Structure 1
């Protein structure tokens, strides 16, 4: 008889613990973040060299055909374009500090 009472007591405790676990709020998953550093590193190490190599092949091909003036014009446009890209990248990295400098 005493063993039966101990069994009922233990069963009651385990059901209360199970109910408490079931009613406990489940943790929400952490918000997903985008690895911008990895994306930027991928573009600078993989994409940009391929684009520069393609420009070089185009320029060498035009220069070998005797279109030196077009090559110089295209080279100047490419250099100006790279300057704009470098300016945009610098704003990407230093924009926060510039805004704090101007508005604080």
Structure 2
């Protein structure tokens, strides 16, 4: 008898909880998509040349002081960094292609 009352009370509580959840308004839908092409274009056309110019000035300054080994090391690190950035950009576009391929 007690078990039956417990089940009825639990069922009533679950029913009230589900009815309450059904009345909660749904959040606004997510935006269609974020246009990142302009952001990538901005960084590639404005920020990257400035950073390369700063690196060039630093390298020329070191080379004029006779620190050729430091210049070569820094140049190699900069080239490897640019390769990583290019790889990340490539993965960005490949990922976008894969997402469009799978979900559309």
TM-score range, shorter chain: 0.5 to 0.7
Residue 14 of structure 1 corresponds to none
Structure 1 spans left out of the alignment, 5+ residues: 1-27
TM-score, length-scaled by structure 1: 0.60
Structure 1: distance between partners of 2:38 and 2:53: 22
- Describe the superposition over 1:13-42 as per-residue Cα deviations: whole angstroms up to 9, x where unpaired: xxxxxxxxxxxxxxx9xx485331111111
TM-score, length-scaled by structure 2: 0.60
Q: Which has the larger radius of gyration?
A: 1
Aligned length: 73
Residue 65 of structure 2 corresponds to 65
Task: Give the 3 Å change call, closer, same or farther, for CA 87–34 of structure 1 in structure 2.
Answer: same
Structure 2 spans left out of the alignment, 5+ residues: 1-27
